[in-house]
Structure formats: C-alpha cells, structure tokens
Amino acid sequence: MSDGKRIVWHLRRVPMLANLGSDALALIGEQASLGEARRRDVLYLPGDRAALVHVLLDGRVRLSKVTRDGKSLTLAYIAPGELFGETCLADTDETARGEMAEATEASVFINLDRGVVQRAAEVHPGLATALMRLALTRRREVESKLEGLMFREVSGKLAELLVQLGDQHGIDDARGTIVALKITHQELANLIGSTRETVSLTLAQWKRQRLILTEGRKVIRSPMPGKIVK
C-alpha cells in the first residue's frame, strides 16, 4: 500500500472524518505525510510557523501554554483519533502557534497541509461542519476550564479532573476505572492551574481517607458517576 493510500485508510478511521466520502478524504490526504515522535519530543512551540494540522494515530500529545519563566498550564491531552493544531485553519494567512505540543508517549500522527484542508472544507460541507463542531467543543472546554480556574477550589477542580480523565482515558477494572495516564502531580497541577505541592497534599489526604487508590502514577476511579475512588 502506498503512503497516500495508507494515509487515507487512517483518515477514514478518524471519528470526525468517518462520514466523509472518498473524494473528500483523498483531497484532505493530498500533500499529507506520516510523522513520529518519541516521549517528551516537542512537536511545536509557541511562535512556530503554523502550516500543518495533525491527526494523532497512536500515543498521547499534551497541549499547553508556557510562560517565559517556565510556568505551564495544560490545555488538553490529545488521544488517538483526535486532531490538534487546527486553530491555524481559522486564519487566511499562516500565523504563529500559540501553544506547545509535546508527546507524552511515543506517538504516530498524520501531518495535513493547512491550505489543503481549508480548500477541502470549502468544497465539502461535511468537513466544514465537522471542523466547526470541533472548534465549538474545544471552546466550551476552554470556557469550562477558565470558569474552574477562577471560581472553584482546588479539591473540587482536582476531583472533577480525575472524573474527566477517567471518562476520556479510563480502562475498566474490578476496582473501578483506571485512569490510563501515567500522569505526575505536576501535570495534574498544570491542568487545574494549581501547584504540585497542593495537588500532592490533596491526593495524600484523599488516600488517608480511603477516597482514592493509586497504582504507581495511576489513579483508580469509582464506577459511580461523580465520585472518586472508594
């Protein structure tokens, strides 16, 4: 199978692209390429040229905002089958990236030319609709995160985050749902706009109260909605 056909085969299995016809997928796949990254590889940095949209096939990618003094706020974890770097599609000219993308696991992804995707969206309304829904979903996620950062206490934000991670990356287990991310306390803090020390103290308190179980760097979530582990 040629690289072009293999890329279209992968694109057909991306949930948001699954209902597009062969012509649309072939057009999207024009000038596309496969990329690989090792754990901790940086895919792009704030200020980098935004010429590509990426589709993650395998692994995990973290999107974050980084300040000049090294502070970081995690925006999202990208799972296989999801797009990232798509914000450049809203611009008529190439702009600079506003966030950092880093592989947290060995990852494989498709690189899509920004201009090709824009032209495909103009010709195929189904693609334009899918991209609009993605943009709206991500906007709601950012607004929810902002609301939590501004108005909620750390314990509430951390509890909600563990439930969310369990929903998105959970693996069923006899004890509940294992959050299938080897995530550090610093990364949890970055996700909720807190500090590593505060997150560590909160988790330790929950563990003493037998509200959570841990397995290495993994947390096991209760099967009951809205609750952490028992």
The tens digit of pLDDT for each residue in 9-22 reads 999 989 888 888 88
The DSSP 8-state label assigned to residue 211 in this structure reads S
The mean pLDDT value for 179-191 works out to 78
Q: How would DSSP label each residue in 40-85?
A: T-EEE-TTSB--EEEEEEES-EEEEEE-TTS-EEEEEEEPTT-EES
CA distance 70 to 51: 25
The mean pLDDT value for 77-84 works out to 92
The mean pLDDT value for 11-34 works out to 87
pLDDT for 36: 96
Confidence check: pLDDT of 228 > 60: no
pLDDT for 224: 44
The tens digit of pLDDT for each residue in 36-58 reads 999 999 999 999 999 999 999 99
- Is the distance from CB of 74 to CB of 63 less than 8 angstroms? yes
Confidence check: pLDDT of 225 > 50: no
* Mean per-residue pLDDT over the chain, rounded: 83
- Asked which of 50-54, 121-125, 211-215 is least confident by mean pLDDT, the reply is 211-215
Quick one: three-class SS letters along 75-94?
A: EEEECCCCEECHHHHHCCCC
In the chain, what percentage of residues exceed pLDDT 90?
Answer: 29
Q: Which residue has the higher pLDDT, 169 or 5?
A: 5
pLDDT for 43: 97
- Asked which of 23-27, 84-88, 181-185, 188-192 is least confident by mean pLDDT, the reply is 181-185
Helix, coil or strand: residue 198? helix
Q: Which residue has the higher pLDDT, 184 or 150?
A: 184
Q: Which residues does 204 contact at the CB level (< 8 Å), separation at least 6?
A: none
The mean pLDDT value for 122-146 works out to 86
pLDDT for 141: 81
pLDDT for 33: 93
The total of other beta-carbon atoms located within 10 Å of residue 90's CB is 10
Confidence check: pLDDT of 102 > 90: yes
